[in-house]
Amino acid sequence: MRDVSFEVNAGECVVLAGDNGAGKSTVIKMISGVYQPTAGKVWMNGELLTGKTPEAVRSAGIETIYQDLALADNLDPGLNLYLGRERTRRVLGLPFLDRKTMREDAVKVMKGLGIVVPDPAAPVREMSGGQRQAIAIARAIHWQAGLVIMDEPTAALGVPEQREVMALIERLKSKGVGIILISHNLPDIFAAADRIIVLARGIVAGERRPAETNDEEIVRMMMGATL
Amino acid sequence: MPNKNGASFVRSLLNAWSWLFLLLILGFFEIYAQTQTASTFLFRVYNLQSISVAASQILLLALGLTLVIVAGHIDLSIAFSTGFAAVVMALIIRAAGADAGWLVVLLAMGAGLLAAGLVGLVNGWLVALLNVPSFIGTLGTYGIARGAALIVAGGATVSIRNDHARAFGNGHVLGLPIPLVTAAILALICHYLLKHTKFGAHTYALGANRASVERAGVNVKKHLVLLFLLSAVTAGIGGLIYTSRFSAGAANAGEPILLYAVAAVFIGGASLTGGQGTITGTVIGAFIIAVIQFGLVFCGLPPYWQFVAVGLVIIVAVLVDQSKHHIVGGGS
């Protein structure tokens, strides 16, 4: 990677587009603290994040949603929402998981995303791909993420579920959350993006607004550096 | 899905099958007793005590194991965590002489638990830190603990003469045998841990998807070490009970129970792939096996038939689990 520099504003969706091996994943891993850049800095609302651990970056408000979603399929939406930060209540001095409150919160946050949870007590493996994506996104919102990074969120989904995810992205934007979306699917890119940053072979091949460009130009930029 | 209600009805039947099965075999043996021997199976204190003590023995190995299996692992070494603890306890009591007091017995029990805990720590180290598959790693410590127990015992059973130990192993609390009371208390603790704590939620999540707990910031390595420690210590308590009941510490105290313990966990609804299983299920599983063991002898069959019967129940349990997945899988 060389000279990759961009910013994301609140409520804005920036798409990192590029062919396989263009460096999209490397960029987001440097933002989320998984990789450390050899040069350059990551800032969030004036706070320097470079050099911090992935956990510290998360608590600073940057949530990464991976392709596999990292859900525990055998647990209900409530526990998935709170995984690692579960709520408990005390009974006779002993902490007990507060499943009811966690479920109610999950239903509430999901409702805010326009998703109705059919059975809040059922394990998430029984939910659709779009609903599962919504749980991962709900986790980000619930923990007040200011920036959500999504890695190919529609890659493994059918067409109706892809639409659900695009609608989710719109709702996240309307809540003032910044989004970095990784994609090489042109319809997705144009549907979601406020700005498109095209990466090719580790450098920025160009930056466009969807209104001032078209499929063809984006593809040419994605391929350009390889010619 | 052709019929949602029908499918969920079948599913709840399948979830409850172990309860139904336990009732069924109890009913079977009771009818047998009434018709063939004109006596009763269920309503005799001796029968119930024998069954519950046999089930307790299985449970002491199966309780901690349930959490390990829910997390997607296995612990074979519990067979000899039990034996190691039994032998260490017996050696210390014997070294202290014939009239050793309560304090010595408690100390000996503590040492036995330390010995078992050591096996658990080694398991945790192998699986969590060296990423050895738990089946292989605990098969290794199965051998090591077996050897260690036989070496310290000099290859023989360590018999003791101590009234305090014997009173503990054969005594009663509120009319209930102490092994049963011990297993019941441990079952409650393990049930609380698995069902009602963060630790339990992380154990289920770990069994379903390790990445989910790792990315949630849970220290997975520490969690695994604790699981194997718990498994070894509960099995070790089984060893203490053994030495107290029989006034002898044997290295192979847990060996014949290992497979029954594993079977109880799977009959109780756990899956080899992890992510499911409950303590209630394991308790039912242990009682199913104990009832079969005692019931077949009660019916006058040679004791070898119990191996066949328990084997069949295990196979049924796996088939039930598979058809459950089939039904759930068809629904999504």
The CATH number given to whatever domain includes residue A210 is: 3.40.50.300
A152 in a structural domain: yes
The 3-state DSSP class for residue A197 equals strand
Q: What is the pLDDT of residue B7?
A: 66
Report DSSP state, residue B128: I
From residue A56, alpha-carbon distances to A6, A60, B17, B218 in Å are 22, 6, 47, 14
Residue A16: closest CA among A227, A221, A226: A221
| Cα of B269 vs its chain's centroid, Å | 14
Which amino acid would we find at residue A11?
G
The CA distance from B214 to A53, in Å, is 13
Q: Band the pLDDT of B55: cuts 50, 70, 90.
A: very high
A218 in a structural domain: yes
Kindly state the average pLDDT of the residues B305-313.
87
Residue A167: closest CA among A206, A137, A204, A126: A137
Q: What is the pLDDT of residue B5?
A: 62
Q: Band the pLDDT of B327: cuts 50, 70, 90.
A: low
Burial of B174 (0-12, 13-18, 19+ CB in 10 A): exposed
Q: What domains appear along chain B, each with residue ranges and CATH number?
A: 13-331 (1.10.3470)
Kindly state the average pLDDT of the residues B199-205.
97
Kindly state the average pLDDT of the residues B115-127.
97
Residue A168: closest CA among A118, A196, A128: A128
Which structural domain range is residue A42 located in? 13-72+129-224
Any CB–CB contact under 8 A between A124 and chain B?
A: no
CB A135 within 8 A of CB A80: yes
A165 in a structural domain: yes
The 3-state DSSP class for residue A201 equals coil
Higher pLDDT, A33 or A98: A98
CB B244 within 8 A of CB B166: yes
pLDDT tens for residues B2-43?
Answer: 445 666 777 777 778 888 899 999 999 999 999 888 888 888
Q: Residue B217's closest chain A neighbor by CA? A: A84
ipTM attached to this prediction: 0.83
Q: Band the pLDDT of B331: cuts 50, 70, 90.
A: very low
Q: Residue A122's closest chain B neighbor by CA? A: B328
A96 in a structural domain: no
User: For strand B158-159 and strand B248-249, is the pairing parallel, antiparallel, or unpaired?
Assistant: antiparallel
Kindly state the average pLDDT of the residues B108-116.
97
A34, A53, A63, A74, best to mutate vs chain B, most B CBs in 10 Å: A74
Q: What is the pLDDT of residue A34?
A: 85
Cβ distance of B205 and A96 shorter than 8 Å = no
The CA distance from B320 to B312, in Å, is 12
Q: What is the pLDDT of residue A143?
A: 81
CB atoms within 10 A of CB A175: 12
Cβ distance of A95 and B205 shorter than 8 Å = no
Burial of B123 (0-12, 13-18, 19+ CB in 10 A): buried
pLDDT tens for residues A119-159?
Answer: 999 999 988 888 888 898 888 888 888 999 998 888 777 78
Report DSSP state, residue A122: S
Any CB–CB contact under 8 A between A93 and chain B?
A: no
Closest CA–CA distance from residue B186 to any residue of chain A (Å): 16
Tokens of A156: 């493994």
A115 in a structural domain: no
CB A94 within 8 A of CB A88: no
Say if residue A103's pLDDT is above 70.
yes
The CA distance from A58 to B53, in Å, is 51
The CA distance from B24 to B33, in Å, is 14
The CA distance from B137 to B121, in Å, is 12
Residue A184: closest CA among A171, A169, A164, A199: A199
User: For strand A203-208 and strand B158-159, is the pairing parallel, antiparallel, or unpaired?
Assistant: unpaired
DSSP letter string, A33-63: TSS--SS---EETTEE-TT--HHHHHHTTEE
A29, A64, A86, best to mutate vs chain B, most B CBs in 10 Å: A86
Tokens of A110: 């999901």
Cβ distance of A96 and B200 shorter than 8 Å = no
Kindly state the average pLDDT of the residues B207-222.
90
A108 in a structural domain: no
Higher pLDDT, B61 or A202: B61
CB atoms within 10 A of CB A105: 19
Task: Give the CA-trace dihedral at B221, B226, B228, B234, to 10 degrees.
Answer: -170
Q: Which secondary-structure segment (H or E) carries B44? A: none
Q: What is the pLDDT of residue A132?
A: 87
Q: Residue B206's closest chain A neighbor by CA? A: A72
Give me the residue from A83, A88, A94 closest to B212, CB to CB.
A83
Lowest mean pLDDT among A17-21, B135-139, B222-226: A17-21
Task: Give the CA-trace dihedral at B159, B160, B164, B166, to 10 degrees.
Answer: 30
Work out how many domains chain A is built from and give that number: 1
Q: What is the pLDDT of residue B40?
A: 87
Q: Band the pLDDT of A68: cuts 50, 70, 90.
A: confident
Kindly state the average pLDDT of the residues B205-224.
91
Closest CA–CA distance from residue A80 to any residue of chain B (Å): 9
